[in-house]
């Protein structure tokens, strides 16, 4: 344990300067961060061809008249000695949405870029997410302030928030802040929604001839913000490795004890990338991937039977234990559950739920069957726990416990039929918050630093409406590519309340993609034979410390 | 990922030889294990003075007529070159009870001792715990078989079990196995119960002139098997560091988000050592220590108020988040809860629980008040979920969720009184199974190896009824002391069913001990100021990799 204040603090200061650090935290502070060679040296920014949109380009063109079609940009070395450009900059940075390991390094990267290439520049951190922009709540970042956050987890340097800049009034507030601070640029570190918002801000500023440029950075542990040019979102690598450490431990426990089935729910409501990556890292007996469940139009009964079948098959082989991975958003992928929820919302809004169950007659046949199939605790939860709008709170359902209960019931049935005779003990786990604020892996630390440094370079060159893009990640850092991708090129539209809204579509697990195919080719073996891998705790030095997650490696391999 | 089979496997073999390992797992296989210098060189075993018992020596003397009073033993260097003693040995080893990181290294230590000092000896591993002894189910351990388990977590090399050798019939079975395998010695790796059992076996063999000697090894992540000579049980160090990594991550998340109170329940039903150690490692805002709750005769309402008071105080300071640690066994420490449970068991056995609640009149006044104070979900759980004997299942109560619910109710009351006006969001966690089978820390790996090596030496010298004891753990490994402590000296008796039963009393958290006093001196500051420490993932190389847990360090310091 040591005090960080010793490392440059001058008496009581805000943020972490008075923090007490563990040995590992302290050692990470001075962990060197290599930069891609192109951005270390002298470079120029070269524009690519005009871009289009991910879908409905005509509508995107209407929504972004100034920015639509703009090219992506790539940094190329010029061979000469890097020289400071004369212009000093005023830049703001904001963290938007849920935490992801590495966010502090993006900010460090922007800061160091300004120090290295644009001395005399200013970096403001907006506090508490986009609300900080609207309310003009910020802190000026300097070397002493930033130092204790280098290579550290969390978003607490300036904190984050989930507010959105959406209404004309909110846009006005953002404009006022940018004008007041005389901002040349703004870096928005966020997920799909936040980057869409960043692009709307960029368009708005351009339309109004406000000089502030806007650059996005791809953040989310869920791994669902990616494209050809943005190979991964930061935080995914660290979060998956933290969860996989725990899963590996639980696997060895299962094998040692021989009597538990561990049902592990993993964070990630929209896409199942985390679950897939953890499966590739650890080789569980059963893994449910939401996108596959949806593609195959599976019912909850199908999923339950799939699990139960494997449990029975394993029992015949003498294995009365196992590990099962479940994505947090599983039930959102099951159409019949969505149908039941919407009927329930309708009924709960207008009718009385009588104890005799007469209200159930209002459910359609399929929904009624599903409702009766659900464990009693889940039935009660659906009927009793509502959000402030009176709606059923799907997000509160502990899917892993629901599945344990349904599997128990199914096994009991099979026991009566004589096809199962063992004891079943389910243990439930949810791994979520533990992974969002861990110390970033060497990969995430370096990747984030490059993303931030690149964002600085893009703003310095006058770019706007791009998302910082660092590529060729399978190669040594020296050879990583650096540039910016037109945010409009990632967009499509969705119709909401009769209007077209721009969206960056979440990248879902592709059933034809290399990671899923690898998993699908091995899962039958993992189900029956025990191929558990225990990745162990994340290492910062020595063996394993520079490994990259399987999803990224497989996707890079498939591209190559 | 690499296959372990490459490291010495010859085609399909049992155990882990066909396992696929992560980079970190593989790197751990060849991690060198230093030995204390006294056991590396030539040593003799010196007996100390005659011993007594921890309590009721007269009764212990009656229960252990052959072993009571025997001295503890200590290894001292002789200065000459170590020579192999001529006698070859046949030794059995068994893992008993719950998993703890390092068990495989104890076995490796015994094996290597035999290889180094008693060539031609045989080591049998009894499979599935003490049942393996009774049923004579074993595997002969050899270099290839053991190799893949070196420095690895889990107990799956030979697996463990919770059976006890208790009845005359079971003792007979154990004797038969020892005679059949012609065992010179047996090493029992277990907790307080298993070591008591080991001593009963040793006494029994001695009484019947069976040559098999018995040596125990102190195992439990709970940390509640320790004494002056046995400074810690193995596994505690690793488990606490795994939990502390997660707690540290959750703390940074809490600070970053600013809107959650994380209630973390930690494994450890009997004693609160794990919770105390994790508190010392991470500095949470609130920590409940069961032993203190019991000593102060606190009620559930007291505990709830203590938590709620701090939440309100923090709200006034602008902190609407925090982290709270709770030992798994908390409610076992609260007398009024025990009283309620016993009344409920009585009522449930004889009466009908009517829906109108008339049955509640049978509860004593205090129990009735407590029952009404409990959240509805807990009330239902107490009434509905019973074990096979019809008893209330206390162990199934999710204490962290219960406390969240009670704190919510209390805060609602204060909101109406006008003394609290913020939003409270509780998030529950249980960290348990994740910590029992992790890769052992460098400390646990080395400590276990020394314990096993020492057990080999003690058996080789003809000792029985001792527990392997490695001390001076604050010094470099070279200077660690090695010996064996008379198991009878750790014992007391308990009266069960009218008879005296020998027990090794669980070492509880001592409120006058150095670890608790350190915690108590700092908790008020941690409550209000945020002094969070994030220990980060366990490192095997570099900074932090050789650290020792705070509990052990503080206890060693207090002794010095």
Interface test with B, best of A537, A547, A554 (most B CBs within 10 A): A537
A490 membership: H or E segment, kind and range: none
Chain B residues with beta carbon closer than 8 angstroms to that of A518: none
Q: How far is B28 from chain A (nearest CA, A)?
A: 9
Cα–Cα distance between B65 and A555 in angstroms, integer?
70
* Residue B534 forms contact with A (CB below 8 Å): yes
Higher pLDDT, B86 or B362: B362
Chain A residues with beta carbon closer than 8 angstroms to that of B248: 22
- Check pLDDT > 60 for residue B182: yes
The answer on whether B213 is annotated among ligand-binding residues is: no
The answer on whether A496 is annotated among ligand-binding residues is: no
Cβ neighbour number for residue B44 with a 10 Å cutoff:
11
Cα–Cα distance between B190 and B98 in angstroms, integer?
8
pLDDT tens digits, B275-328:
999 999 999 999 999 999 999 999 999 999 999 999 999 999 999 999 999 999
**Range picked from A348-357, A361-370, B64-73, B337-346 for highest mean pLDDT:** B64-73
pLDDT tens digits, B386-407:
777 777 887 788 999 999 999 9
Name the band, by pLDDT with cuts 50, 70 and 90, for residue B32. very high
Interface contact flag, B439 A159, Cβ < 8 Å:
no
Query: What's B19-80 look like in SS3?
Result: CEECHHHHHHHCCCCCCCHHHHCCEEEEECCCCCCCCCHHHHHHHCCCCCCCCCEEEEECCC
Per-residue pLDDT, B560: 66
* Residue B4 forms contact with A (CB below 8 Å): no
Single out the residue of B400, B451, B379, B463 nearest to residue B184, CA to CA. B463
* Residue B26 forms contact with A (CB below 8 Å): yes
**Residue in chain B lying closest to A1 (CA):** B533
- Percentage of chain A lying above the pLDDT 70 cut: 96
Q: Are A375 and A428 in contact (CB under 8 A)?
A: no
Q: How far is A164 from chain B (nearest CA, A)?
A: 16
Q: What is the mean pLDDT of residues A252-271?
A: 95
- Check pLDDT > 60 for residue A257: yes
- Check pLDDT > 50 for residue A55: yes
- Check pLDDT > 90 for residue B536: yes
- For the question of residue B144 being annotated catalytic, the response is no
Chain B residues with beta carbon closer than 8 angstroms to that of A283: 20
Structure tokens at A417: 């039929």
Per-residue pLDDT, A222: 97
- Check pLDDT > 80 for residue A1: no
Cα–Cα distance between A285 and A522 in angstroms, integer?
10
pLDDT tens digits, B428-440:
999 999 999 999 9
Cα–Cα distance between B332 and B334 in angstroms, integer?
6
Range from A158-162, A267-271, A453-457, B71-75 carrying the lowest mean pLDDT: A267-271
Task: Tell me the pLDDT of chain B averaged across its residues.
Answer: 93
The SS3 call for residue B430 is strand
Chain B residues with beta carbon closer than 8 angstroms to that of A537: 24, 242, 245, 438-439, 537-539
Q: How far is B18 from chain A (nearest CA, A)?
A: 9
- Name the pairing type of β-strands A73-77 and A43-47: antiparallel
- Percentage of chain B lying above the pLDDT 90 cut: 84
Helix residue ranges, H only, B208-359: 236-257, 273-282, 290-295, 300-316, 335-350
* Residue B242 forms contact with A (CB below 8 Å): yes
**Residue in chain A lying closest to B380 (CA):** A377
Q: Are B514 and B558 in contact (CB under 8 A)?
A: yes
Name the band, by pLDDT with cuts 50, 70 and 90, for residue A12. very low
Q: What is the mean pLDDT of residues B208-229?
A: 97
B515 membership: H or E segment, kind and range: helix B514-528
**Residue in chain B lying closest to A159 (CA):** B256
Name the band, by pLDDT with cuts 50, 70 and 90, for residue A3. low
Q: What is the mean pLDDT of residues A464-477?
A: 97
- Check pLDDT > 60 for residue B10: no
List phi, psi (to 5°) of B81.
-70, 135
Identify which of B256, B437, B439 has the shortest CB distance to residue A253.
B437
Identify which of A99, A242, A540 has the shortest CB distance to residue B256.
A99
- Check pLDDT > 90 for residue B181: yes
- Check pLDDT > 50 for residue B5: no
- Name the pairing type of β-strands A426-431 and A261-266: parallel
* Residue B283 forms contact with A (CB below 8 Å): yes
Q: Are B322 and B283 in contact (CB under 8 A)?
A: no
Non-local (6+) Cβ contacts of A195 within 8 A are A188, A216, A218, A225, A467, A487, A490, A504
Cβ neighbour number for residue B61 with a 10 Å cutoff:
15
Interface contact flag, B541 A542, Cβ < 8 Å:
yes
Identify which of B154, B255, B532 has the shortest CB distance to residue A255.
B154
Q: How far is A317 from chain B (nearest CA, A)?
A: 15
pTM: 0.95
The answer on whether A268 is annotated among ligand-binding residues is: yes
Non-local (6+) Cβ contacts of B388 within 8 A are none
Single out the residue of B383, B363, B384, B374 nearest to residue B404, CA to CA. B374
Interface contact flag, A20 B540, Cβ < 8 Å:
no
Range from A145-149, B357-361, B526-530 carrying the lowest mean pLDDT: B357-361
Per-residue pLDDT, A84: 55
Structure tokens at A360: 């159930």
Q: What is the mean pLDDT of residues B216-222?
A: 98
The SS3 call for residue B428 is strand
| Residue in the structure block whose two tokens are 């310091």 | B557
pLDDT tens digits, B426-479:
999 999 999 999 999 999 999 999 999 999 999 999 999 999 999 999 999 999
pLDDT tens digits, B85-128:
668 999 999 999 999 999 999 999 999 999 999 999 999 999 99
Single out the residue of B539, B551, B517 nearest to residue B281, CA to CA. B551
Q: What is the mean pLDDT of residues B224-234?
A: 96
Per-residue pLDDT, A6: 37
Cα–Cα distance between B196 and B503 in angstroms, integer?
6
Instruction: Estimate the share of chain B in helix, then strand, then coil, as percent rounded to the nearest 5.
Output: 45, 15, 40
- Check pLDDT > 60 for residue B9: no
Cα–Cα distance between A27 and A25 in angstroms, integer?
5
Q: How far is A86 from chain B (nearest CA, A)?
A: 36
Q: How far is B245 from chain A (nearest CA, A)?
A: 8
The alpha carbon of residue A84 and the mean position of all alpha carbons in its chain are separated, in whole angstroms, by 35
pLDDT tens digits, A340-379:
999 998 888 887 788 888 889 999 999 999 999 999 888 8
- Percentage of chain A lying above the pLDDT 90 cut: 84
Identify which of B25, B160, B536 has the shortest CB distance to residue A25.
B536
Name the band, by pLDDT with cuts 50, 70 and 90, for residue A507. very high
Crossing angle for the helix pair A273-282 and A550-559, to the nearest 10 degrees: 100
Structure tokens at A188: 């928005």
ipTM: 0.95
Single out the residue of B253, B12, B526, B521 nearest to residue A153, CA to CA. B253
Per-residue pLDDT, B12: 34
Per-residue pLDDT, B93: 98
Q: What is the mean pLDDT of residues B141-164?
A: 96
Distances (CA, A) of B45 to B465, B466, B478, B484: 15, 13, 18, 10
B415 membership: H or E segment, kind and range: helix B399-417
- Name the pairing type of β-strands B2-3 and B20-21: antiparallel
Cα–Cα distance between B2 and B30 in angstroms, integer?
14
The answer on whether B319 is annotated among ligand-binding residues is: no
Cα–Cα distance between A224 and A292 in angstroms, integer?
16
Q: What is the mean pLDDT of residues B415-425?
A: 95
Structure tokens at B450: 């020394």
Q: Which of A222, A224, A237, A332 is catalytic?
A: A222
- Check pLDDT > 80 for residue B258: yes
Higher pLDDT, B132 or A87: B132
* Residue B539 forms contact with A (CB below 8 Å): yes
Q: Are A214 and A188 in contact (CB under 8 A)?
A: yes
Range from A399-408, B381-390, B527-536 carrying the lowest mean pLDDT: B381-390
Interface test with B, best of A17, A20, A24, A427 (most B CBs within 10 A): A24
Cβ neighbour number for residue A388 with a 10 Å cutoff:
5
pLDDT tens digits, A416-434:
999 999 999 999 999 999 9
**If contacts are CB pairs under 8 Å, which of residues 125-184 in chain A contact chain B?**
128, 152-156, 159-160
Q: What is the mean pLDDT of residues A221-250?
A: 97
């Amino acid at each position: 344990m040591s005090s960080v204040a010793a490392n440059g603090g001058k008496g009581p200061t805000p943020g972490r300067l008075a923090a007490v650090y563990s040995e590992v935290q302290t050692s990470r502070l001075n962990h060197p961060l290599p930069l891609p060679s192109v951005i270390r040296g002298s470079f120029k920014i070269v524009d690519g061809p005009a871009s289009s949109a991910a879908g409905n380009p005509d509508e995107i063109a209407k929504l972004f008249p100034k920015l639509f079609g703009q090219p992506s940009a790539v940094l190329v070395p010029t061979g000469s000695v890097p020289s400071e450009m004369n212009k000093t900059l005023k830049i703001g940075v904001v963290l938007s949405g849920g935490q992801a390991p590495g966010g502090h390094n993006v900010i460090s990267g922007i800061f160091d870029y300004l120090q290295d290439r644009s001395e005399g520049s200013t970096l403001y951190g907006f506090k508490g997410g986009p609300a900080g922009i609207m309310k003009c709540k910020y802190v000026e970042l300097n070397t002493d302030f930033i130092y204790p956050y280098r290579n550290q987890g969390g978003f607490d340097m300036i904190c984050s928030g989930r507010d959105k800049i959406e209404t004309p009034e909110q846009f006005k507030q953002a404009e006022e802040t940018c004008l007041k601070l005389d901002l040349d640029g703004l870096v928005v570190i966020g997920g799909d929604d936040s980057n869409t918002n960043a692009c709307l801000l960029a368009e708005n500023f351009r339309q109004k001839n406000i000089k502030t440029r806007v650059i996005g950075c791809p953040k989310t542990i869920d791994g669902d913000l990616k494209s050809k040019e943005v190979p991964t979102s930061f935080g995914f690598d660290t979060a998956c490795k933290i969860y996989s450490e725990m899963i590996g431990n639980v696997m060895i426990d299962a094998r040692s004890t021989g009597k538990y089935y561990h049902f592990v729910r993993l964070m990630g409501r929209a896409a199942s990338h985390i679950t897939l990556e953890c499966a590739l890292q650890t080789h569980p007996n059963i893994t449910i991937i939401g996108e596959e469940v949806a593609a195959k139009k599976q019912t909850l009964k199908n999923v339950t039977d799939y699990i139960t079948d494997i449990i029975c098959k394993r029992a015949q082989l003498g294995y009365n234990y196992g590990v099962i991975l479940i994505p947090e958003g599983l039930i959102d992928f099951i159409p019949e559950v969505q149908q039941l929820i919407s009927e329930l919302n309708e009924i709960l809004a207008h009718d009385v739920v009588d104890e005799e169950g007469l209200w159930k007659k209002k459910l359609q046949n399929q929904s009624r069957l599903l409702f009766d199939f659900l464990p009693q605790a889940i039935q009660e939860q659906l009927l009793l726990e509502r959000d402030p709008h009176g709606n059923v709170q799907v997000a509160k359902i502990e899917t892993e416990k629901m599945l344990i209960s349904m599997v128990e019931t199914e096994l009991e049935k099979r026991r009566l039929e004589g096809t199962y005779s063992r004891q079943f003990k389910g243990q439930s786990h949810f791994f979520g918050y533990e992974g969002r604020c861990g110390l970033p892996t060497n990969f995430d630390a370096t990747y984030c630093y490059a993303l931030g440094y690149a964002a600085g370079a893009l703003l310095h060159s006058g770019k706007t409406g791009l998302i910082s893009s660092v590529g060729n990640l399978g190669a040594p850092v020296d050879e990583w590519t650096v540039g910016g991708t037109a945010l409009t090129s990632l967009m499509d539209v969705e119709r909401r309340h009769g209007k077209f809204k721009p969206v960056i579509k979440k990248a879902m697990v592709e059933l034809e993609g290399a990671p899923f195919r690898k998993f699908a080719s091995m899962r039958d073996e993992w189900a029956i034979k025990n191929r558990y891998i225990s990745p162990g705790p994340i290492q910062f030095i020595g063996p394993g410390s520079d490994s990259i997650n399987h999803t990224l490696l497989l996707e890079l391999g498939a591209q190559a």
